[in-house]
Structure 1
Amino acid sequence: MYEIKKISDLRFFASKGNATVILDVHPITRVKQKCSGTLKRDGIYIEEAAVVKGKRQIVRSRESLPRAFAHIQSIKLGRNLVAERKKGALNATPAGVYLLTKKQSIEKVYQKKEHKI
């Protein structure tokens, strides 16, 4: 399995768009409570309902990627699961491995090949 250890891998998933994460600890209250957020290149954005000045509003908070990395349980791109935590390690699923290895071998695609006639 491909273990995700670098923040740059998370940023790569965020650059694809429509990436969501499930956290096991709420970032504001630090209570063991599952919450979901949107993965962006600069952090994880979590939207929740709160009462501000007597009115109910949607509050958006940001958690930095290095700080939230240990609490990520799963990452989805659209409907596809690309990473999940098993036995304490964040492992990429086959779809996530495909995306990450495709990123690493992108130089080989753009090299010109000689065609024999």
Structure 2
Amino acid sequence: MHEIKINDLRSFAKAGNSTVKLDSYYHYEIAKIKKDGIYVSGGTIFIDGRRTELKTQVPFYEIYKHIDTIKQGRVLLAERRAGKLIGTWKYEQMIGEMD
């Protein structure tokens, strides 16, 4: 099994449509992976009378330990097992196709 590293998170961002489910520290929130970090919801604010959702960018190295699962679309690519972020068989299959 392949352990997911920070560089792998960056490759998920390049592929697009990738999300992470975070642990209890972030209230089990689902956040979007982008090339410069993971965007976590910061609540809602009002600007010029319109309701807007505030997103906070958190660097990969800060949030890595709080990631429980990684999905690309509806496909589960990685999950945390015994404290490590491990790629699923679908992730292994995806890597094999890239080589």
Q: Which TM bucket (shorter chain)?
A: 0.7 to 0.9
Q: Deviations over 1:35-82 (max 9, x none)?
A: 1100111100123533458x6531111110011011100000000000
In structure 2, C-alpha distance between the alignment counterparts of 1:97 and 1:39, rounded to whole Å: 20
Give 2:41's aligned residue: 47
Runs of 4+ aligned residues of structure 1 deviating over 4 Å after TM superposition are none
TM-score under structure 2 normalisation? 0.84
TM-score under structure 1 normalisation? 0.73
Higher share in strand: 2
Rg (Cα) greater in structure: 1
The CA RMSD measured in Å over matched residues stands at: 1.8
Structure 2, unaligned stretches of length 5 or more? none
**Greater RCO (CA < 8 Å, at least 6 residues apart):** 2
Structure 1, unaligned stretches of length 5 or more? 27-32, 106-117
In structure 2, C-alpha distance between the alignment counterparts of 1:97 and 1:40, rounded to whole Å: 22
* 8 Å contact from structure 1 (residues 84, 93) kept in 2: yes
Give 2:30's aligned residue: 36
Give 1:67's aligned residue: 62
Q: Percent identity?
A: 36
How many residue pairs get matched? Answer: 96
